[in-house]
Amino acid sequence: MTVRPRELSHTVASFATRTPTLPPATHTNSYALGSRQVLLVEPATPYEDEQRAWIEWARGLASSGRTPVAIVLTHHHVDHVGGVDVLSRELGLPVWAHAETATRVDVPVARRLHDGDVLDLAGPAPERWRVLHTPGHAPGHVCLHDEDEGVVVVGDMVASVGTILIAPGDGDMTVYLAQLDRLAGLGARVALPAHGEPIDEPAALFRHYIAHRLMREAKVLAALAKAGGGSADELLPDAYDDVPKVMWPFAMLSMLAHLEKLERDGRVRTQGPRYIPAS
Ligand SMILES: [Zn+2]
């Protein structure tokens, strides 16, 4: 049973709801940022019982002097915006998101968030959350960074439960790796992911994610070199021989994102459905 709500600090609370997310994760964390004016991040759940609980939580913030002023979307994926319509309507709150997210959701977005924007919240002392546009997992993905407290809300950039899928279309492996490197450089004290527990000293995890993806890229290249080329179906068993077969449909998407990057890097060529080493 997930404990909720949780008061994580004097400026951050979390509330996890059940969502149709990628196993083994089962929940998405919403966050209430601010000690007086509050941003509600991740209106995630599409389920009615969970939406009722979320609304009760949001309304209950008033008992500790907190007033929600907006709902913020980290990105458009279904396990992050499943409740945005109902929750924004019930609470009478505007929705804020990056333009690339705004075009992918069915609700009006009142404020478009840009990289570098500072969201000022009135509190006992001023509280400031800086918007970081961090595409790679999704085109409009944003993180929110409280530089004074060293806290960064990271959405689906990393997770402490489950894995982050980089799939062709929404995802871009080159950009994702660059944004992970940027997050590692923030020197944050704690990262708050959409799935799983808060992450202390998150730079190590960001760097671990980069190393893991580069390890996979090397395995894809090695499989390609060994076979002298092949279709995605032919390459997958070798490139993901350490991954359980039940995960292979996801692995396939991830491998295609790696191949896209490798082609861009000039290390792979395509010939019809076949991938060929370029060097
Ligand atoms: Zn996502």
In the chain (279 residues long), the average pLDDT of successive 10-residue segments reads: 85 97 92 98 98 98 97 98 98 98 98 98 93 98 97 97 92 98 98 97 98 98 96 97 94 97 97 92
User: In angstroms, what is the span from residue 201 Cα to ligand 1's centroid?
Assistant: 22
**How far does the centroid of ligand 1 lie from the alpha carbon of residue 75, in Å?**
7
pLDDT for the residue numbered 3: 78
CA–centroid distance, 274 to ligand 1, in Å, is 29
Question: Ligand 1 centre from 65 Cα, in Å?
Answer: 32
Q: Compute the distance between CA of residue 147 and CA of residue 189 in angstroms, rounded to an integer.
A: 10
Cα of 195 vs centre of ligand 1, distance in Å, is 10
Nearest CA to 133 out of 103, 160, 101, 105 is that of: 101
Angstrom CA distances, 234 to 58, 153, 223, 252, 273, stand at 50, 39, 9, 11, 11
Distance 136 CA to ligand 1 centre (A): 10
Instruction: Give residue 194 CA to ligand 1 midpoint distance, Å.
Output: 9
Question: What confidence score (pLDDT) does residue 2 get?
Answer: 67
pTM comes to 0.96
Which tokens belong to 240? 């993901």
Residues less than 5 Å from ion ligand 1, measured at CB? 77, 156
State in Å: Cα 272 to ligand 1 middle: 30
